[in-house]
């Protein structure tokens, strides 16, 4: 069975619910702890002072992964408290905020080169790493799962607000993130050589600073023997993050793919539709290309990977979590529900902090 792991990016906020630029202090506290001996994996820097990242250890058992995700959130929140902050699983901050780049040479180089795009990038995602034998297998998986990433985005949507306003999107993070020159869906690579050739061409173009700026929806990891699926918002609920991992692993194990692979332009349109509608409207069906209710599109994905879910022992969890998610709603739906109850920006963040650690 393939191992799978999850990286989560979180907002650092004051106890009152405002973004708080204390990542350096949190990382300093984390450096005092032997992370390899603690549950929940590593605590790492991100691009901005108002955010922090955690990563689980690789897991084969989904129940273990759930506990790793929960432990990582708990540990990071404990570190944040030492810096006077809390951790919130929100993909964007609802308030107007001018975020602060980390005091890091690479981060400052990115800010200088990319201007407003970099200044706007206070966004938090969920990245799933799934084990592969080698780059050739990894590229085969990338070429197969590209049709399904929009549904993963819809399930995770957790960023309806941006700079003090309601955007009308379930995942506005994906729209902000999509401004980077390499972000979004990709065409088929064919083989590992085709993938490596594209990366070399991107680097030769001078448009990106290094390979770390290859921001595809799914890519080969440059650090681990994994495929890294990066399309999702950070999930408000632990179970939703584990669902992303289970579905990505099942997609990696599913060798069938559409007879006529969709063009990248259609995948981009499907991704926009998922970002806009989330789970409350139609999505683009990956098999037919037609608009269908979101629940039907999610059901198509589950049926597509059902044999792999059974083989991995994940089917019961996935079916239960999908039912919960469709009934309760993703993070965007929950945030909008809090708004309807009268919550302002700060109260939305405070409620998100509580949800993050359930």
Cα–Cα dist 203/209, whole Å: 7
Using the predicted structure, report yes or no on whether residue 258 has a pLDDT greater than 70.
no
What domains, with CATH codes, occur in the chain? Answer: 4-356 (3.30.590.20)
What confidence tens digit (pLDDT) does each residue in 272-319 have? Answer: 999 999 999 999 999 999 999 999 999 999 999 999 999 999 999 999
What confidence tens digit (pLDDT) does each residue in 222-235 have? Answer: 999 999 999 999 99
Cα–Cα dist 119/273, whole Å: 26
DSSP string for residues in 247-304: HHHHHHH-----SSPPPHHHHHHHHHHHHHHTTSSEEE-TTT--EEEHHHHHHHHHHH
Contacts for 24-28: CB closer than 8 Å, 24+ residues apart: 24/49, 24/102, 24/103, 25/82, 25/83, 26/52, 26/76, 26/79, 26/80, 26/82, 26/83, 26/85, 27/52
Using the predicted structure, report yes or no on whether residue 260 has a pLDDT greater than 90.
no
Using the predicted structure, report yes or no on whether residue 257 has a pLDDT greater than 80.
no
Query: DSSP 3-state assignment of 334?
Result: helix
Residues whose CB falls within 8 Å of the CB of residue 338, separated by 6 or more in sequence, listed in order = 347, 348, 351
Is there a contact between 188 and 146 (Cβ–Cβ < 8 Å)? yes
User: How many degrees, rounded to 5, is the angle at CA 99 between CA 111 and CA 219?
Assistant: 55
Mean pLDDT in residue range 130-135: 98
What confidence tens digit (pLDDT) does each residue in 89-124 have? Answer: 999 999 999 999 999 999 999 999 999 999 999 999
Residues whose CB falls within 8 Å of the CB of residue 66, separated by 6 or more in sequence, listed in order = 238, 239, 242
Residues whose CB falls within 8 Å of the CB of residue 87, separated by 6 or more in sequence, listed in order = 10, 11, 12, 13, 52, 73, 76, 77, 80, 353, 356, 357
Cα–Cα dist 235/149, whole Å: 15
What confidence tens digit (pLDDT) does each residue in 20-57 have? Answer: 999 999 999 999 887 555 667 789 999 999 999 999 99
Cα–Cα dist 153/232, whole Å: 5
Burial of 256 (0-12, 13-18, 19+ CB in 10 A): exposed
pTM: 0.97
């Amino acid at each position: 069975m393939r191992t799978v792991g999850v990286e989560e990016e979180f907002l650092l906020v004051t106890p009152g619910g405002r973004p708080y630029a204390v990542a350096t202090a949190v990382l300093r506290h984390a450096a005092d702890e032997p992370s390899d001996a603690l549950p929940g994996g590593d605590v790492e820097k991100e691009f901005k002072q108002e955010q922090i990242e955690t990563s689980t250890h690789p897991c084969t058992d989904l129940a273990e992964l759930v506990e790793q995700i929960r432990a990582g959130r708990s540990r990071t929140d404990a570190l944040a408290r030492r810096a006077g902050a809390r951790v919130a699983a929100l993909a964007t901050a609802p308030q107007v905020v001018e975020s602060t780049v980390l005091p890091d040479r690479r981060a400052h180089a990115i800010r200088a080169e990319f201007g407003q795009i970099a200044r706007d990038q206070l966004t938090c995602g969920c990245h799933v790493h799934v084990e592969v034998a080698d780059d050739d297998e990894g590229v085969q998986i990338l070429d197969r799962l590209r049709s399904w990433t929009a549904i993963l985005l819809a399930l995770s949507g957790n960023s309806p607000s941006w700079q003090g306003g309601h955007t009308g999107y379930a995942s506005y993070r994906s729209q902000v993130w999509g401004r980077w020159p390499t972000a979004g869906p990709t065409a088929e690579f064919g083989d590992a050589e085709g993938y490596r050739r594209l990366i070399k061409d991107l680097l030769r173009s001078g448009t990106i600073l290094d390979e770390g700026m290859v921001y595809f929806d799914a890519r080969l990891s440059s650090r681990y023997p994994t495929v890294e699926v990066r399309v999702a918002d950070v999930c408000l609920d632990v179970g939703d993050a584990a669902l992303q991992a289970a579905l990505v692993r099942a997609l990696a194990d599913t060798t069938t793919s559409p007879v006529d692979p969709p063009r990248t332009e259609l995948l981009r349109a499907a991704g926009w539709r998922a970002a806009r509608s989330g789970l409350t409207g139609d999505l683009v069906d990956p098999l037919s290309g037609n608009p269908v209710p979101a629940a039907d599109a999610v059901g198509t994905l589950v049926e597509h990977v059902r044999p792999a879910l059974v083989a991995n022992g994940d089917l019961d969890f996935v079916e239960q979590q999908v039912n919960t998610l469709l009934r309760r709603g993703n993070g965007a739906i929950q945030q909008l529900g809090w708004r309807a109850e009268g919550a302002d920006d700060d109260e939305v963040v405070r409620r998100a902090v509580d949800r993050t650690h359930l």
